[in-house]
Amino acid sequence: MNKLLVVGTVAFDAIETPFGKTMKILGGSGTYVGLAASQFEVQTGIVSVVGGDFPNSYLEILHSKGINTQGIEIIKEGKTFFWSGKYHNDMNSRNTLITELNVLEDFKPFVPAGFKDANIVMLGNLHPLVQNSVIEQMSKKPTLIVLDTMNFWMNIALDELHAVLKKVDVITINDEEARQLSGEYSLVNAAKKIHEMGPKYVVIKKGEHGALLFNEGNMFFAPALPLAEVFDPTGAGDTFAGGFCGYLAKTGDISFENMKNAIIYGSNLASFCVEKFGTERMQELTSDEVTKRLQAFKDLTQFNIKLS
């Protein structure tokens, strides 16, 4: 079975949307990526850190999905990373209310021996130095290294981010962050500039407006499935990345053509993630539901114009 190594936060999130408000619940970029990837027949391992306050029952949720947590360090006397965010009425924009790094402050990632030869490495949203340290611990060159990041890290560790970008094959980033990283408003120009920073493939996530894949003059667009109700968009971007990497890890094919399918899988899984608060929907998601919705994606985008 192919292996997918994920590094990212395993966190407490407190979320406020027009539909309600949660207390501290399970969240984190690594958690969402891992849950999405668990939809595929791949061995997934997460590298992260939590504090002594992190409930065992949350780790059990990951185990129940077959996710390897040997790489999640528990610092008994420390506190788990905490993030809190508030969404506005259109659900497309959010404000970060609180980011408490806590145990992440001095995090030294440890890649378990069994994952040092992972085929695909997903460097989830975390400090670029942590992302880089994971690359350096690999015993063999992964088939593909994918990196996700956000404005928080661009603001406090831009040089380190540029250094790690030179080593990655794919970046997944949202539109606003692509503009910030490149200094370009046009996403086509932004992708070009980001290519020059290292990644051969640039995936720009546009929330409810879908995702774009760029590679050396090739371009592909996948819509997001229009949903009647979006309950909580938290983790949609990470779920997208988990679906993208999980599918590529399962198929072992990293051609541009197959990446198109991976983008569709990512969009498909993200469309489920937003249907309930936090990770709830991803925990209960079945493969039948995933397959049915893939059909909806096909129906949404297929047309038969004759070009002659």
Torsion of CA 266, 267, 268, 272, to 10 degrees: 100
Residue of the chain from 199, 235, 243, 266 that contacts ligand AMP (CB under 6 A)? 235
**Under rule CB under 6 A, residue 102 binds ligand AMP:** no
C-beta closer to ligand AMP: residue 2 or 235: 235
Q: Which of residues 244-303 bind ligand AMP (CB under 6 A)?
A: none
Q: How far apart are CA 71 and CA 199, in angstroms?
A: 26
Q: Does 99 bind ligand AMP (CB under 6 A)?
A: yes
Nearest to 167 by CA among 220, 99, 226, 121: 121
Is residue 7 close enough to count as binding ligand AMP by CB under 6 A?
Answer: no
User: How many angstroms separate the Cα of 293 from the Cα of each of 224, 265, 266, 268?
Assistant: 11, 10, 12, 7
Q: Which is nearer to ligand AMP, 28 or 142 (CB)?
A: 28
**237 near ligand AMP (CB under 6 A):** yes
83 interacts with ligand AMP by CB under 6 A = yes
| Alpha-carbon distance values, 303 to 207, 298, 299, 300 (Å) | 24, 10, 8, 9
46, 91, 126, 135: residue in contact with ligand AMP (rule CB under 6 A): 126
Of residues 39, 44, 125, 131, which one binds ligand AMP by CB under 6 A?
Answer: 125
Give the contact letters, 27-56, x = binds to ligand AMP (CB under 6 A), - = no: xxx---------------------------
153 φ, ψ to 5°?
-80, -30
**What x-and-dash track marks residues 147-166 binding ligand AMP by CB under 6 A?**
---x-x--------------
DSSP 3-state assignment of 285?
coil
> Residue for token digits 């997001």?
224
What is the nearest approach in angstroms of ligand AMP to the Cβ of residue 13? 5
Rounded to whole angstroms, the Cα distance separating 100 from 27 reads 13
Chain residues that interact with ligand AMP, rule: CB under 6 A? 9, 11, 13, 27-29, 83, 99, 125-126, 150, 152, 234-238
